[in-house]
């Protein structure tokens, strides 16, 4: 086994760049086409590198990873973890100067697209290590810290784990209970608390643990208390005051390790604070931002796998002397699966391109995660349906696919929390006129947790027009549609704030609709950019299937956007509240026909 390396080292990416992302610019009243056109082109040397690495990984998977066995055993073999390190899979995103391969975000996403469908538990080992486990060190670590720890992390001698969630603190970072008390005599912090549902927790040695440092002059319970600590277990996995809980019995990803991390007077050198005291909240937010795009990439890979299985079955299976592939209801499913996967792929690699250009991608990454994980769930379900009774049998991959993919809509921020984040970002850049709303919109950070982010109120600006001028002329109607609804979205956000004032943060019925419009817009624009590039490269005739996808998706997206935007004014939200209240009061279903 050998480590594949790039010729160039990719520098650490931080998300707090001076250049806002396309969607943030859109919210602020600017339609910056330069951020999304042309569609990111993958250099030939990168394609060659990733192709070679993907081939090496597939060979490794075929030789060493028995997916059915490890899933049944509920155990990921430790020698396979070591093998992943020897292969170089644990250091893909680590710069070369620290022993890694220095993959760009685009290259890393492609590898996660490859790894996920081969074995989802292996994807967790690799992804939990690189996408979030060691990411605080990559983004915020000092040079001394990086030189000390990254070489062993790149080689897989240490595996990383991200430790934020607690029994009482999921999306709500304000509920974080783990404490770190400074001992000036030893220049150490004493950590006490419990972290829950930690991926790789059973065998990791490098833990990024978030804890509160109670100090005079710092508001108790505020985010300013939070710091990120690197907690390093010894080679035998032990550390005084540190222990691991039992492995959780899970619905899916059964071979992956998930357990509690228990800290009871665990001493950690002050040197091990990553990003400085009081910056832990920012470290957590930006780390989670980086992981979401790769979750979208994994979803692309899973969707492609399901489409392949569905097409194979549909073209071979005959009923009524006809291939079921020729029935329009099956065609509809295959078309939707294929087109939506193309759209998701466009979103993911558009976003990866933003990362590589050092552009803020937090919103786009959230869109990829929400849209992608929900698409994968639906695609597996549809592929199972096409397979008929076979799909319900354990010998086929659909059941495990459903079990393994379900957590994706919860991982790294539930899709509900991320919808709030996407929508509330539309209220950013507050003006002087509504300073009270600006102040109120700082509260969702504590109320909704890490993933709502630093939402502020809407800046009242003026926009003369939106126009996509770089889209190929053959797609002019679709480009005009996207521009139209981008302007409508901005006005809708402004109206929401003026109508709801401080209460806008609690209008989740409306925020859900706004988020879905934003995702449809980004999906459509990413697709138009990619198809435009395809036309310019291949010509209209050869790009015709992709043009048809762009037109089909624009048609579907328009209907959803119109419905969601209209429902900001005309809805039955009060009735939904009343119905849910009835269920809460009854402790369940309140309308049993028999009166039981």
CATH code, 253: 2.40.110.10
pLDDT digits (tens, 9 = 90+) for 52-101: 999 999 999 999 999 999 999 999 999 999 999 999 999 999 999 999 99
Residue 106 has pLDDT above 90, yes or no: yes
Q: DSSP string of 514-565?
A: HHHHHHHHHHHHHHHHHHHHHHHHH-TTTTHHHHHHHHHHHHHHHHHHHHHH
Q: How many residues does the chain have?
A: 596
CATH code, 441: 1.20.140.10
Residue 502 has pLDDT above 70, yes or no: yes
Same domain, 564 and 456: yes
Which residue matches tokens 């927790």?
A: 201
Give the separation between CA 377 and CA 302, rounded to whole angstroms. Answer: 9
Same domain, 274 and 351: no
pLDDT digits (tens, 9 = 90+) for 215-238: 878 888 788 999 999 999 999 999
Tell whether 248 is covered by a domain: yes
Active site residue 412: yes
% of the chain exceeding 70 in pLDDT: 90
The HSE-up count of residue 224 (CA atoms within 13 Å, CB side) is 6
Same domain, 244 and 320: no
Q: Helix, strand, or coil here: 88?
A: coil
Same domain, 406 and 451: no
Biggest alpha carbon–alpha carbon distance for the chain: 83
What token pair was written down for 52?
């070679």
Tell me the residue range of the domain where 47 lies: 39-159
The predicted model gives 115-123 an average pLDDT of 98
Distance of CA 542 to the CA centre of its chain: 33
* Structural domain total, the chain: 4
The per-residue pLDDT for 409 is 98
The predicted model gives 23-38 an average pLDDT of 86
What backbone torsions phi and psi does residue 180 show, to the nearest 5 degrees?
-130, 110
Q: Helix, strand, or coil here: 341?
A: helix
Lowest-pLDDT range of 16-20, 177-181, 467-471: 16-20
Q: End of a domain among 159, 188, 216? A: 159
CATH code, 143: 1.10.540.10
Which residue matches tokens 């490890």?
A: 70
Same domain, 316 and 260: no
Q: Of 563 and 1, which is predicted with more confidence?
A: 563
Q: Helix, strand, or coil here: 408?
A: helix
Catalytic residue among 188, 225, 345, 412: 412
């Amino acid at each position: 086994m050998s480590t594949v390396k790039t010729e160039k080292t990719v520098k650490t990416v931080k998300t707090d760049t001076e250049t806002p992302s396309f969607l943030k610019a859109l919210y602020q009243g600017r339609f910056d086409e330069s951020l999304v056109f042309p569609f990111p082109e993958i250099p030939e040397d990168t394609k060659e590198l990733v192709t070679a690495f993907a081939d090496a990984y597939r060979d490794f998977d075929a030789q060493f990873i028995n997916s059915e066995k490890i899933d049944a055993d509920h155990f990921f073999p430790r020698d396979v973890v070591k093998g992943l390190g020897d292969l170089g899979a644990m250091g893909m995103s680590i710069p070369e100067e620290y022993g890694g391969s220095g993959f760009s975000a685009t290259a890393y996403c492609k590898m996660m697209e490859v790894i996920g469908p081969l074995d989802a538990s292996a994807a967790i080992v690799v992804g939990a290590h690189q996408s979030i486990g060691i990411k605080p060190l990559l983004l915020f670590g000092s040079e001394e810290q990086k030189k000390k720890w990254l070489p062993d992390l790149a080689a897989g001698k240490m595996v990383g784990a991200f430790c934020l969630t607690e029994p009482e603190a999921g999306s709500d970072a304000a509920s974080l209970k783990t404490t770190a008390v400074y001992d000036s005599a030893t220049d150490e912090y004493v950590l006490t608390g419990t972290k829950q549902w930690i991926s790789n927790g059973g065998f990791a040695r490098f833990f990024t643990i978030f804890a509160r440092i109670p100090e005079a002059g710092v508001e108790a319970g505020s985010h300013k208390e939070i710091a990120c600590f690197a907690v390093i277990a010894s080679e035998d996995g032990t550390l005084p005051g540190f222990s691991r809980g039992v492995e959780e019995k899970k619905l899916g990803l059964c071979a992956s390790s998930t357990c509690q991390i228990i800290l009871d007077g665990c001493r950690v050198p002050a040197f091990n604070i990553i990003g400085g005291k009081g910056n832990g909240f920012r470290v957590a937010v930006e780390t989670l931002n980086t992981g979401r795009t790769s979750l979208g990439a994994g979803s692309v890979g899973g969707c492609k796998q399901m489409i392949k299985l569905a097409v194979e079955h549909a073209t071979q299976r005959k009923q009524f002397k006809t291939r079921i592939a020729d029935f329009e209801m099956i065609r509809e499913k295959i078309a939707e699966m294929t087109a939506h996967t193309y759209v998701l792929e466009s979103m993911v690699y558009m976003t990866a391109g933003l990362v590589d250009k050092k552009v803020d991608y937090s919103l786009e990454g959230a869109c990829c995660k929400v849209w992608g994980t929900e698409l994968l769930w639906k695609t597996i379900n549809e592929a199972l349906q096409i397979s008929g009774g076979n799909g319900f049998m354990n010998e086929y991959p659909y059941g495990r696919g459903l079990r393994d993919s379900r957590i994706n809509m919860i991982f790294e921020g539930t899709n509900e929390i991320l919808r709030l984040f996407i929508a509330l970002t539309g209220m950013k850049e507050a003006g002087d006129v509504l300073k009270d709303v600006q102040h109120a919109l700082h509260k969702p950070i504590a109320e909704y947790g890490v993933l709502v982010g630093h939402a502020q109120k809407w800046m009242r600006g003026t926009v003369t027009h939106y126009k996509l001028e770089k889209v190929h002329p053959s797609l002019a109607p679709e480009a005009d549609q996207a521009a139209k609804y981008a302007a409508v979205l901005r006005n809708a956000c402004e109206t929401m704030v003026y109508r709801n004032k401080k209460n806008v943060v609690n209008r989740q019925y409306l925020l859900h609709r706004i988020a879905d419009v934003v995702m449809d817009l980004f999906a459509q624009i990413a697709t138009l950019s990619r198809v435009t590039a395809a036309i310019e490269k291949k010509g209209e005739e050869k790009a015709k299937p992709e043009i048809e996808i762009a037109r089909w998706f624009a048609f579907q997206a328009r209907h959803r956007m119109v419905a969601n935007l209209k429902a900001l004014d005309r809805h039955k939200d009060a009735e939904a509240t009343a119905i849910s209240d009835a269920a809460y009061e009854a402790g369940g279903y309140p309308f049993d026909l028999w009166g039981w």
